[in-house]
C-alpha cells in the first residue's frame, strides 16, 4: 500500500496522529468552554434569588464579579479552542490538496483522457473543502453539541426532573429536521454550483474563442446562451435561499415549544412559591441554550455525510494508479540504438489498433524522418518512445534493453520530444525556453537557441525582450513563433535523442530551410540522433532515412529513392508537393 492510500483510507486518524496536540488541546478547551457556558446561568439564578430574598449588596457584588469572570474566561477559552482546532483542519486540507496534486502529476495521459479537467478541479477544490468542513467545523460542532448536552442536561434534571422531560419532549425532532433541511440545501447548492460552472465555462470559452465567435458573427447567439445560463443560476440560487430560510424556524421550533410548555407547567409552582423566580429564569435560559446542541447534532451529521461523499470521490481519484509504473531501475546514460520489435498498440479502452506490427531501428547519430497521412499514427508512435502509454504487444528496446527497465526520469531526459501540440506557460520567454532545466538558463544560451530556431529578432522586438511575459496576461505569439519557441525549449536540453513532431508545420518554407540547416549543424556538434515527423518533404531533406506510415502500419522505409520505388503514399506526397513547388516558384 502506498503512503497516499493509507492516508486517504482513514484521513481523520492520519491527521490526528500528525497533530495530536492541536486536536486534543482543542477538544479539551472546548469542554472547558462548554462547562463555563453551561454553568453561568446558575450564577444568574443565584443573583436573582439574592435580590428576591434581599441579601446584602456585597453578596450580589460577589456573584456579579463571578459572572464577569466566567463570561470573560468563556470568551478566552472559545478563542483558544478555535485557534487550536483551526490549525488542525486547515493543515489537513492543504496537505491533502498537495498530495492529490502530486498524485495527478504521476498519472499518464490515459487518466487525463478519462477524467475531465472540470471534475478533477472540483475534486481538488470543492471536495477537499467539504472534507475539511467535515473534520473541522463539522466534527467540532458535533462534539460541541454532545459535550454541551452532557453538561446541561444533568443540570436541568437536577433543577427539576419533571420540567426537563416535559419541556424537551419535542427537541429530539430538531436534529432530524435540521439534517433533512441541510440535505436539501446541499443538493440545491450543488445544482447552483453546476449552473455557476456552466456560466464560467461559457464565459471562458467565449472570451478564449472570441475571434472565432466574431468571424462567424455569433455574438448574439453567445449572449443568448449566457443569458439563459445566468437565468438558470438565478433560479437555482433563489431555491437555495428559500430552503435556507427554513433553517431558523426549525431551530426555533424546539425551543419555542419548550418555553410555552414551561409557562404552563411552572405557573402553579411559581404561584405557590414552591420554586423561586431565579430557578424559573435559569431553567428558561437552559431551554433556550438547548437550541444550539440539538441543532449542532443535526448540522454536524450533515457535514459528516457531505464530507464522506467528497472523501469517496477523492479516494476514487487517488486510487487510480498510473498505467505506466515507474518500476525500472536502470539509468539510461547513453544512447546507442532504439528498436521497435513487432509493436502493436491500441489506446486504452479502444477496440481498433492505432499501430500494427511496427518494427524498425534507429542507430545513434542517424536522422530519421517519419511521414504519413493525417491520423496514420505518427504522434502515437513517438509518444510510445517516451512511454506515455503501456505497450502490451511487441517490444520497444533502447540499447537492446526493454524501455520499461529504465527509470522514467532517465528515459525522458535522454529522449526529448517536442510535441505537435504546442503549449507555452504564462511565464517569461526565458523561463519557457528553460522549462526543462532545473535552473534558469544563461542569457547567452537562450539567445543561441533562439538563433538556431531563427526567432531571436522577433523576441528582441518584444517590449521586454526575453523577459516578456507570455500567455493570458502577456504577449500573444503567432502559431509559427510558438512552434519555434517550443523547439528551442527541447533543444536547450541538449539531449542525445531529439524528436520533433510536426514542429515546423506553421513555419514558411524559407524559414524552415534556415532552421533545418541550423538544426543539422547543432545535431552534428552534439552528435545527436533525431527523429523528425513531418508532412512536407522539404523538412526531411537532411534525413538519412524516412519511415512511411499508412493506417498504423509501416508501408515502406528507406531513402527517398527507395520510397519512390516502394511507397505509393510517398509517391503521392512527392507528386502533390512538387507540383505545389512549381506553383510557388
Ligand atoms: N488519446 C487517444 N485515444 C484514442 N485514440 C486516439 C488518441 N490519440 C490519437 N488517437 C487516434 O489514433 C490515430 C492516430 O493518431 P495520431 O495522432 O498518431 O496521428 P498522426 O499521424 O500524428 O496525425 P497528424 O498528422 O494529424 O498529426 C487517429 O485515428 C486518432 O484518432
Ligand atoms: Mg500527429
Average pLDDT of the residues in 51-79: 85
C-alpha cell at 103: 498524485
CA of 387 to the centre of ligand 1 (A): 16
pLDDT digits (tens, 9 = 90+) for 272-321: 888 888 888 888 888 888 888 888 888 888 888 888 888 888 888 888 88
Query: Whose Cα sits closest to atom 5 in ligand 1?
Result: 347
**Quick one: pLDDT band at residue 473, thresholds 50, 70, 90?**
low
Query: Looking at ligand 1, which residue's alpha carbon is closest to its atom 24?
Result: 374
Average pLDDT score over residue span 415-432: 87
Protein residue with least CA distance to atom 30, ligand 1: 375
Q: Pocket residues for ligand 1 (CB within 6 Å)? A: 113, 347, 350, 354, 372, 374-380, 420, 502
Q: DSSP states of 343-402 as a string?
A: EEE--TT-SS-SEEEEEEEEETT-EEEEEESTTSSHHHHHHHHTTSS---EEEEEETTEE
> What confidence score (pLDDT) does residue 580 get?
58
Q: What is the pLDDT of residue 256?
A: 80
The pLDDT of residue 221 is 92
Which numbered ligand comes closest to the C-alpha of 370?
1
Whether residue 476 is predicted with pLDDT greater than 80 in this model: the reply is: no
What residues sit around ligand 2, an ion, with C-beta below 5 angstroms?
A: 378-379, 420
Q: From the CA of 350, which ligand is nearest?
A: 1
Percent of the chain exceeding pLDDT 70 equals 97
Q: Tell me: the pLDDT tens digits for 85-127?
A: 888 888 889 999 999 999 988 888 888 888 777 778 878 888 8
- Cα 384 from chain centroid (whole Å): 27
Does position 66 have pLDDT exceeding 70, yes or no?
A: yes
Cα separation, 518 vs 453, in Å, equals 7
The region that residue 230 occupies, defined by phi over 0 for left and psi between -120 and 50 for alpha, beta otherwise, is alpha
**Rounded Cα–Cα distance for residues 250 and 174 (Å):** 7
pLDDT over 50 at 584, yes or no: no
Span 372-393, average pLDDT: 91
**pLDDT band, residue 385 (cuts 50/70/90):** very high
Reported confidence tier of residue 243, pLDDT bands at 50, 70, 90? confident
Beta strands at 545-550 and 367-372: parallel, antiparallel or unpaired: parallel
pLDDT at 399: 92
Give 326 Cα–ligand 2 centroid separation in angstroms. 26
Q: Are 8 and 308 in contact (CB under 8 A)?
A: no
> What mean pLDDT value characterizes the chain?
85
Kindly state the average pLDDT of the residues 250-260. 78
Q: How many angstroms separate the alpha carbon of residue 201 from the centre of ligand 2?
A: 28
Best residue among 109, 376, 390, 500 to mutate for probing ligand 1, ranked by most atoms within 8 Å of CB: 376
| Ligand 1 center from residue 374 Cα (angstroms) | 8
pLDDT band at residue 403 using 50, 70 and 90 as cut-offs: very high
Please check the confidence at residue 582 and state whether its pLDDT lies above 50: no
Of 225-229, 441-445, 544-548, the range with the lowest mean pLDDT is: 441-445
Which of 347, 356, 532, 552 maximizes ligand 1 atoms within 8 Å of its Cβ, making it the mutation to test the pocket? 347
Other beta carbons less than 10 A from residue 6's beta carbon: 12
The DSSP secondary structure of 260-306, one letter per residue, reads HHHHHHHHHHHHHTSS-HHHHHHHHHHHHHTHHHHHHHHHHHHHHHH
* Structure confidence at residue 45 (pLDDT): 83
Distance from the CA of 421 to the center of ligand 2, in angstroms? 8
Domains of the chain, with CATH numbers? 3-318 (1.20.1560.10), 337-584 (3.40.50.300)
How large is the average pLDDT for residues 30-58? 82
Residue 525 has pLDDT above 50, yes or no: yes
pLDDT of residue 235: 93
What's the confidence (pLDDT) of residue 297?
85
Tell whether the model's pLDDT for residue 142 goes beyond 80.
Answer: yes
> Confidence class of residue 360 from pLDDT cuts 50, 70 and 90?
very high
Tell me the C-alpha distance between 464 and 466, whole Å: 6
Q: Whose CA is nearest to atom 14 of ligand 1?
A: 377
C-alpha–C-alpha distance, residues 447 and 20, integer Å: 54
pLDDT score at 177: 83
Task: Supply the pLDDT for residue 101.
Answer: 93
**pTM reported for the whole predicted model:** 0.75
Amino acid at each position: 500500500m502506498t503512503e497516499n492510500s493509507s492516508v486517504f483510507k482513514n484521513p481523520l486518524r492520519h491527521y490526528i496522529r500528525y497533530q495530536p496536540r492541536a486536536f486534543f488541546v482543542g477538544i479539551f478547551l472546548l469542554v472547558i468552554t462548554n462547562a463555563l457556558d453551561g454553568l453561568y446561568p446558575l450564577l444568574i439564578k443565584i443573583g436573582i434569588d439574592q435580590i428576591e430574598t434581599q441579601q446584602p449588596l456585597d453578596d450580589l457584588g460577589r456573584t456579579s464579579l463571578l459572572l464577569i469572570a466566567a463570561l470573560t474566561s468563556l470568551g478566552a477559552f472559545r478563542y483558544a479552542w478555535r485557534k487550536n482546532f483551526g490549525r488542525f483542519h486547515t493543515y489537513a486540507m492543504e496537505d491533502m490538496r498537495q498530495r492529490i496534486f502530486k498524485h495527478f502529476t504521476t498519472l499518464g495521459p490515459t487518466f487525463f483522457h478519462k477524467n475531465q479537467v472540470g471534475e478533477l478541479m472540483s475534486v481538488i477544490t470543492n471536495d477537499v473543502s467539504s472534507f475539511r468542513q467535515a473534520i473541522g467545523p463539522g466534527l467540532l460542532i458535533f462534539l460541541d453539541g454532545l459535550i454541551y448536552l452532557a453538561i446541561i442536561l444533568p443540570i436541568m434534571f437536577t433543577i427539576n426532573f419533571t420540567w426537563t422531560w416535559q419541556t424537551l419532549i419535542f427537541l429530539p425532532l430538531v436534529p432530524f429536521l435540521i439534517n433533512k433541511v441541510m440535505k436539501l440545501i446541499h443538493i440545491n447548492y450543488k445544482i447552483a454550483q453546476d449552473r455557476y460552472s456552466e456560466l464560467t465555462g461559457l464565459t471562458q470559452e467565449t472570451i478564449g474563442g472570441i475571434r472565432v465567435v466574431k468571424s462567424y458573427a455569433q455574438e448574439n447567439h453567445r449572449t443568448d446562451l449566457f443569458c439563459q445560463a445566468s437565468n438558470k443560476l438565478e433560479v437555482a440560487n433563489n431555491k437555495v435561499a428559500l430552503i435556507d430560510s427554513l433553517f431558523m424556524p426549525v431551530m426555533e421550533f424546539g425551543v419555542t415549544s419548550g418555553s410555552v410548555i414551561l409557562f404552563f407547567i411552572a405557573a402553579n409552582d411559581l404561584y405557590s412559591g414552591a420554586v423561586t423566580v431565579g430557578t424559573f429564569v435559569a431553567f428558561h435560559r437552559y431551554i433556550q441554550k438547548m437550541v444550539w446542541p440539538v441543532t449542532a447534532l443535526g448540522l454536524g451529521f450533515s457535514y459528516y455525510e457531505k464530507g464522506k461523499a467528497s472523501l469517496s470521490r477523492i479516494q476514487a481519484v487517488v486510487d487510480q494508479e498510473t498505467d505506466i509504473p515507474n518500476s525500472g531501475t536502470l539509468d539510461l546514460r547513453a544512447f546507442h540504438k532504439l528498436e521497435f520489435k513487432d509493436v502493436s498498440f491500441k489506446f486504452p479502452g479502444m477496440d481498433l489498433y492505432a499501430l500494427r506490427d511496427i518494427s524498425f531501428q534507429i542507430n545513434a547519430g542517424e536522422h530519421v524522418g517519419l511521414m504519413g497521412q493525417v491520423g496514420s499514427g505518427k504522434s502515437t508512435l513517438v509518444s510510445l518512445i517516451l512511454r506515455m502509454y503501456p505497450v502490451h504487444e511487441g517490444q520497444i528496446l533502447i540499447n537492446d534493453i526493454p524501455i520499461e527497465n529504465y527509470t522514467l526520469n532517465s528515459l525522458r531526459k535522454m529522449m526529448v520530444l517536442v510535441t505537435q501540440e504546442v503549449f507555452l506557460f504564462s511565464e517569461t520567454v526565458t523561463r519557457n525556453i528553460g522549462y526543462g532545466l532545473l535552473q534558469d538558463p544563461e542569457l547567452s544560451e537562450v539567445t543561441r537557441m533562439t538563433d538556431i530556431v531563427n526567432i531571436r529578432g522577433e523576441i528582441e522586438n518584444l517590449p521586454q525582450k526575453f523577459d516578456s511575459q507570455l500567455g493570458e496576461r502577456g504577449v500573444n505569439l503567432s502559431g509559427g513563433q510558438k512552434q519555434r519557441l517550443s523547439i528551442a525549449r527541447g533543444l536547450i536540453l541538449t539531449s542525445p535523442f531529439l524528436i520533433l513532431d510536426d514542429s515546423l508545420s506553421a513555419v514558411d518554407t524559407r524559414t524552415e530551410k534556415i532552421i533545418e540547416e541550423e538544426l543539422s549543424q547543432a545535431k552534428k556538434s552534439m552528435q545527436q540522433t533525431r527523429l523528425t515527423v513531418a508532412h512536407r518533404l522539404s523538412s526531411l531533406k537532411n534525413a538519412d532515412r524516412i519511415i512511411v506510415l499508412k493506417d498504423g502500419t509501416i508501408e515502406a522505409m528507406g531513402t527517398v529513392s527507395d520510397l519512390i520505388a516502394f511507397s505509393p503514399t510517398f509517391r503521392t506526397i512527392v507528386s502533390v508537393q512538387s507540383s505545389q513547388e512549381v506553383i510557388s516558384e
